[in-house]
Amino acid sequence: MDCNAKSQHQHEWLQKLVGEWTFESEADMGQDQPKIKSTGAETVRALGDLWIICEGQGEMPDNAGTMSMRMTLGYDPARERFVGNWVCSVMTSMFVYEGQLEEGGKILPLNTEGPSFFEEGKLATYQDVIEIVDENTRLLRSRTPGQDGEWVEFMVARYTRK
pLDDT of residue 157: 96
Q: Name the residue among 58, 70, 50, 73 with its Cα closest to residue 27.
A: 58
Summarised one tens digit per residue, pLDDT across range 9-62 is 999 999 999 999 999 999 887 777 888 899 999 999 999 999 999 999 998 766
pLDDT of residue 62: 66
pLDDT of residue 1: 60
- Where b means 16+ CB within 10 Å and e means fewer, 65-82 reads eebebebebbbeeeeebb
Domains of the chain: 9-27+36-161 (2.40.128.20)
In eight-state DSSP terms, residue 14 is: H
Taking residue 89's Cβ as centre, other Cβ atoms within 10 Å add up to 12
Report the distance separating Cα 15 and Cα 46, nearest Å.
7
Report the distance separating Cα 68 and Cα 58, nearest Å.
7
CB 29 within 8 A of CB 13: no
Q: pLDDT confidence of 3, banded at 50, 70, 90?
A: confident
For the whole model, what pTM was predicted? 0.92
Sign for the pseudo-dihedral over CA of 99, 21, 53, 70: negative
Summarised one tens digit per residue, pLDDT across range 27-37 is 887 777 888 89
Summarised one tens digit per residue, pLDDT across range 88-102 is 998 999 999 999 999
In sequence order, the 6+-apart residues with CB closer than 8 A to the CB of 39 are 22, 23, 24, 25, 58, 59
Percent with pLDDT over 90 in the chain = 79
